[in-house]
Amino acid sequence: MDEHYVSHALVSAHETCPVDGLAKSLGPGPFSLVLLFVSPEADLSSLVVEAGKVWKGAKIAGCTTAGEISGEGYDEESIVAVGFHARHFAAETLLVPDLSKLVASDLSDTLLHIRHALARDHGHLPEEFALLFVDGLSAREDELASALAAATGAMPLIGGSAGDGTHFRETLVFDGKQLLANAAIISVMRGACPLRPFKMDHIKPTERRMVVTDADPQARIVRRINAEPAVKEYARLIGMQPESVNTLTFAIHPLTVRMGERHHVRAIQRVLPSGELLFFSAIDEGMVLTIAEPHDLVGHLSAELKALKQPANPVAVLAFDCILRRIEAQERQMIGPVSELLRQHGVIGFSTYGEQIGPMHINHTMTGFAFYPPGTVVSETTP
């Protein structure tokens, strides 16, 4: 990453004063926005307080993770900071403190006001974009993304759902003052660096399909598939015994839903004691799901990251990577090659419980932004 545009830093989550180490590595700034991707192993309450003190002039946005991407590849039990230099970026943040009380019209109005104010005060910065971090256990990501769509318009919005390793107990987001569950934080930015949003997935749909016949959409729980108990029917269709189904199974036998000409993963989070399936994203009765198979993760990632080097080398690549991709890489002994690719291409970010891209909440992808030197002509590429 180019220190004149976007800087990054890494410390252990077990450091006594992690913010001091991060600030020293990031440099003096000043920064318009500091992002913090934090292992749940860290002392989060202290971190939020100290971050607000150390980066007084900057907006702060962050969340807990299901693993970090540090600049050296996949990382764990660490804290990653990303600083956007104030000379080249302007930022405002919007905290949504309680997703259960989300009023779409109010959120839309506030977001539009922020966009207009940034355009008025920083119109010399031509690129506009937004980052979204949301509680990954809230089951509100789809509703939130939809509510934001009216106010974002053509502005690209990318983000990730906060994680909690593989514990699935508590996922948190924060600004420089508050640490909250069932919440989200949106960073609206203008910048001098041309950018390209991206979405990568190596999933190929098969011909095997199923229908959700009994579900609780609000809780994202599927009770029955093809009128049979959910886990039993899922296991039968992938050729496994129900008792053998685990998180790795969901990574190598993902389910997708077709939207237009494209398939998007509707990932299973876990099997409940009842035999029902809890999903990471929206699900409903009558939904037709297609079994997919992951193809060459390393080869696909290599090709996609190389493509981001056109028309120039990015000064930063910010990425939000589904936890299921990390699990697949780990179980198939690909952590080393994947980490090396992420390191070579300077990717920074975290592993998520879901990815946000425009008005959609999806799974089993890597989404993000590649930022290029000012003056670079970047082709119109949409996610």
Residue of 54, 1, 66, 61 lying closest to 29 (CA atoms): 54
d(Cα 47, Cα 242) in Å, to the nearest integer? 42
For residue range 328-351, list pLDDT tens digits in order.
999 889 999 999 999 999 999 999
Q: From residue 131, how far is each of 34, 254, 284, 337, 358 by CA, in Å? A: 12, 26, 27, 28, 10
Query: At 383, is the pLDDT very low, low, confident or very high (cuts 50, 70, 90)?
Result: very low
pLDDT at 282 over 80: yes
Query: At 382, is the pLDDT very low, low, confident or very high (cuts 50, 70, 90)?
Result: very low
DSSP 189-234: EEESS-EEEEEE--EEEEEEEEEEEEEETTTTEEEEETTEEHHHHH
Angle at 223 between CA 222 and CA 224, to 5 degrees: 100
Q: What value does the mean pLDDT take over residues 195-205?
A: 93
d(Cα 114, Cα 119) in Å, to the nearest integer? 9
For residue range 211-258, list pLDDT tens digits in order.
999 999 999 999 999 999 999 999 999 999 999 999 889 988 999 998
Q: How does DSSP classify residue 302? A: H
For residue range 125-167, list pLDDT tens digits in order.
999 999 999 999 999 998 998 899 989 989 999 999 999 998 9
Query: At 41, is the pLDDT very low, low, confident or very high (cuts 50, 70, 90)?
Result: very high
Residue whose entry in the numeric block shows the structure tokens 């919440």: 183
Residue whose entry in the numeric block shows the structure tokens 């089951």: 139
Q: What value does the mean pLDDT take over residues 189-200?
A: 96
Q: What value does the mean pLDDT take over residues 73-86?
A: 97
d(Cα 7, Cα 27) in Å, to the nearest integer? 8
Residue of 4, 5, 52 lying closest to 318 (CA atoms): 5
Above pLDDT 90, what percent of the chain? 84
Sequence spans of domains, the chain: 6-200+298-371, 203-293
Is the backbone of residue 113 left (phi > 0), alpha (psi -120 to 50) or beta? alpha
Which backbone phi and psi does 271 adopt, to 5 degrees?
Answer: -90, 125
Q: How does DSSP classify residue 311? A: S
Query: At 368, is the pLDDT very low, low, confident or very high (cuts 50, 70, 90)?
Result: very high
Say how many C-beta atoms besides its own lie within 10 A of residue 4's C-beta: 11
Exposed / middle / buried, residue 181 (Cβ in 10 Å: 0-12, 13-18, 19+): middle
